[in-house]
């Protein structure tokens, strides 16, 4: 809707009269604003140049408000030009509750909006990757889910399952369609069940939550994505804010039920700006494409080639061993190096060793724990899941990361990503660096012990190769929760122990100043643990990991990880799980 600039300066509301008056004087010569040149922002009410609004993805350039998008408008923003093929247009509408004027209203909406129902479904390509896509449209009875919406969605998911294609749904809906009564409620069940079959077939489902997503849609297909993204500030919730307010009789906090609130509470993977959505979806689709046969072997050959041409690996290992033996560092020296804030963090390793990392957030239960990071990345042309303890490099970041000490929700996030990796047959690389699980009241209230135990329980039978690398401090159960894996490696200057040397000295000798002595006794260095058979490999740091040696160390790690992948991916699932069982059975 264009607003006449002149009207802004009128003190009355007689807009129609003013329009007439304007028309009388409107000639070519008199300055005036052509119709449609400007659009008023729904939120800040500032005038936006209409062409700016359209070229700017329908986001207000003044206040950043996201205008709602029609389904076809959204499709044109997301998919490759001309690749969208619409499915199931013109399904017959019923009026199960014989609600007065319902069908007439539907007919009228079809005419006014140019869409067929509150969802448009079909198949399209995003950056040349084929996917099934569904887009809700709030212009059609608030995007509510009646039987046609449920049917279109279910059919699209079923077809995606049989065509072995991913599904991407953009949600925005008031929930169930009241006019259709219980038939509407059944759509929640129907769509969810179809999505379970799609998931069981090992296929990817991504949801993008847009403003507003509420009620029965939130409680069914919106929250079932393997990956859940949301546009900024979108309202997402089950009960509407008005209902909650009326029920509890209190004002709701600022930002309640918005995307940012959901991210903080662990329910979504990320908030993505509208202008970045297409690229993000394309990247996620690429990260879910299976690797070409032999890609890991080729990657290893490539690495060997740029590393040294032909490498005598035995000699290399002997040299490293010799160098290590000549080192005069004590166990306590290693503890101090391992704890140094200069050490690379999990994200440093992830960005150095892999490509295209996409971080995923949240445990889907309570929160997003900053002390554990995880996501999907490419290693040697193959998608892998990476998970690690993350310490901060500044005080501020350390508070966000809780100094690398995880709460139960951190372990639950890791478990969610472990299960996801298993579903998509992705190997997992863990990076362990934690003083230990967080000793706190909340952590106990939410079941710290149970969370760690559950990781051990589940990791033991994950059907994909698992590799864990202790990069700094391997602190007890909190570390083991990410280290029940096929192989465990340690950085040369990392430590791995049942408790801190200070704790050891304090419990056994009642004197925590004897920590350096304890460190020797505890056999917590990489060399000690290799001898004990607790770990398989020591990663040399030549001799300490820093900016100068980083490249060399990372290249070594890439080669060894590629070897690991080649070796373990050739094993059958049974063999893999048996091996892992026996690895820990022997202790």
- Residues contributing to the site for another protein (CB under 8 A): 5-6, 8-9, 28-34, 37-38, 46-47, 49
**306, 416, 521 from 370: Cα distances, Å:** 36, 15, 33
Separation between Cα atoms, residue 260 and residue 232, nearest integer Å:
7
Q: Which is nearer to another protein, 347 or 462 (CB)?
A: 347
The least CB distance from residue 389 to another protein, in Å, is 27
The least CB distance from residue 23 to another protein, in Å, is 15
Q: Which residue is associated with the tokens 């600039």?
A: 5
Separation between Cα atoms, residue 82 and residue 77, nearest integer Å:
12
Q: Which is nearer to another protein, 31 or 90 (CB)?
A: 31
HEC string for 481-546: CCCCCCEEEEECCCEEECCCHHHHHHHHHCCHHHHHHHHHHHCCEHHHHHHCCCCCEEECCCCCCC
The least CB distance from residue 468 to another protein, in Å, is 32
- Is residue 93 within 8 A of residue 106, CB to CB? The reply is yes
Q: Which is nearer to another protein, 53 or 456 (CB)?
A: 53
Q: Which is nearer to another protein, 5 or 163 (CB)?
A: 5
The least CB distance from residue 41 to another protein, in Å, is 11
Of the candidates 165, 168, 84, the residue with the CA atom closest to the CA atom of residue 125: 84
- Is residue 311 within 8 A of residue 359, CB to CB? The reply is no
Q: Which is nearer to another protein, 32 or 546 (CB)?
A: 32
Separation between Cα atoms, residue 413 and residue 370, nearest integer Å:
10
Q: Which residues partner with 145 through β-bridges? A: 176
The least CB distance from residue 31 to another protein, in Å, is 5
3-state SS, residue 476: helix
Q: Which is nearer to another protein, 49 or 507 (CB)?
A: 49
The least CB distance from residue 46 to another protein, in Å, is 7
Backbone angles phi, psi at 316, to 5 degrees: -55, -45
The least CB distance from residue 38 to another protein, in Å, is 7
The least CB distance from residue 27 to another protein, in Å, is 9
**13, 33, 343, 436, 505 from 472: Cα distances, Å:** 69, 65, 7, 12, 21
Q: Which is nearer to another protein, 46 or 128 (CB)?
A: 46
Tokens of 463: 């059907």
Beta-carbon-side half-sphere exposure of residue 577 (alpha carbons within 13 Å): 11
Q: Which is nearer to another protein, 26 or 318 (CB)?
A: 26
The least CB distance from residue 65 to another protein, in Å, is 16
- Determine the length of the chain: 587
Q: Helix crossing, 274-287 with 71-78: angle to 10°? A: 60
Q: Which is nearer to another protein, 347 or 526 (CB)?
A: 347
């Amino acid at each position: 809707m264009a607003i006449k600039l002149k009207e802004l300066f009128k003190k009355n509301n007689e807009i129609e009269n003013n329009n007439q008056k304007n028309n009388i004087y409107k000639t070519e010569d008199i300055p005036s604003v052509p119709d449609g040149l400007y659009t008023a922002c729904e939120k800040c009410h500032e005038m936006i140049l209409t062409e700016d609004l359209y070229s700017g993805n329908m986001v207000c350039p003044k206040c950043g408000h996201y205008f709602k998008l029609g389904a076809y408008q959204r499709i044109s923003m997301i998919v490759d030009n001309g690749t969208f093929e619409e499915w199931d247009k013109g399904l017959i509408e019923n009026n199960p509750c014989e609600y007065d004027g319902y069908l007439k209203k539907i007919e009228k909406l079809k005419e006014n909006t140019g869409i067929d129902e509150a969802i448009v479904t079909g198949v399209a390509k995003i950056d040349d990757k084929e996917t099934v896509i569904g887009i809700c449209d709030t212009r059609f009875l608030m995007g509510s889910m009646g039987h046609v919406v449920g049917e279109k969605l279910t059919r699209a998911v079923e077809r995606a399952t049989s065509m072995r294609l991913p599904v991407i749904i953009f949600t925005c809906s008031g929930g169930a369609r009241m006019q259709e009564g219980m038939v509407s409620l059944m759509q929640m069940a129907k769509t969810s069940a179809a999505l379970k079959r799609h998931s069981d077939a090992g296929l990817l489902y991504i949801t993008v939550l847009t403003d507003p997503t509420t009620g029965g849609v939130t409680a069914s297909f919106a929250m079932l994505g393997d990956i859940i993204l949301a546009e900024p500030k979108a309202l997402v919730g089950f009960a509407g804010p008005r209902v909650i307010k009326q029920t509890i009789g209190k004002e709701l906090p600022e930002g309640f039920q918005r995307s940012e609130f959901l991210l903080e509470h662990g329910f979504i993977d990320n908030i993505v700006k509208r202008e970045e959505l297409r690229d993000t979806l394309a990247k996620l689709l690429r990260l879910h494409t299976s690797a070409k046969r032999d890609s890991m072997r080729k990657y290893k050959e490539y690495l060997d080639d740029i590393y040294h041409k032909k490498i005598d690996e035995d000699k290399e290992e002997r040299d490293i061993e010799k160098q290590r033996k000549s080192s005069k560092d004590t166990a306590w020296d290693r503890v101090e190096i391992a704890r140094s804030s200069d050490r690379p963090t999990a994200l440093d390793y992830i960005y150095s060793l892999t490509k295209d990392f996409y971080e995923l957030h949240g445990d889907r239960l309570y929160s997003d724990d900053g002390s554990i990071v995880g996501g999907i990345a490419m290693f040697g042309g193959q998608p892998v899941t990476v998970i690690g303890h993350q310490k901060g490099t500044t005080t501020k970041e350390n508070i966000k990361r809780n100094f690398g000490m995880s709460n139960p929700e951190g372990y639950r996030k890791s478990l969610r990503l472990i299960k996801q990796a298993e579903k998509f047959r992705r190997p997992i690389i863990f990076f362990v660096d934690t003083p230990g699980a967080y000793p706190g009241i909340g952590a106990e209230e939410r079941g710290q012990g149970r969370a760690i135990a559950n990781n051990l329980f589940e990791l033991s039978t994950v059907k994909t190769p698992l590799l864990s690398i202790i990069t700094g401090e391997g602190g007890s159960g909190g570390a083991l929760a990410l280290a029940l894996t096929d192989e465990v490696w340690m950085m040369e200057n990392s430590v791995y122990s049942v408790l801190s040397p200070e704790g050891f000295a304090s419990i056994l000798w009642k004197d925590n100043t004897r920590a350096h002595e304890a460190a020797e006794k505890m056999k917590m260095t990489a060399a000690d643990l290799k001898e004990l058979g607790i770990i398989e490999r020591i990663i040399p740091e030549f001799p300490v990991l820093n900016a100068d040696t980083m490249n060399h160390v990372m290249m070594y790690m890439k080669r060894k990880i590629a070897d690991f992948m080649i070796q373990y991916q050739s094993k059958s699932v049974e063999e893999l799980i048996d091996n892992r069982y026996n690895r820990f059975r022997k202790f």
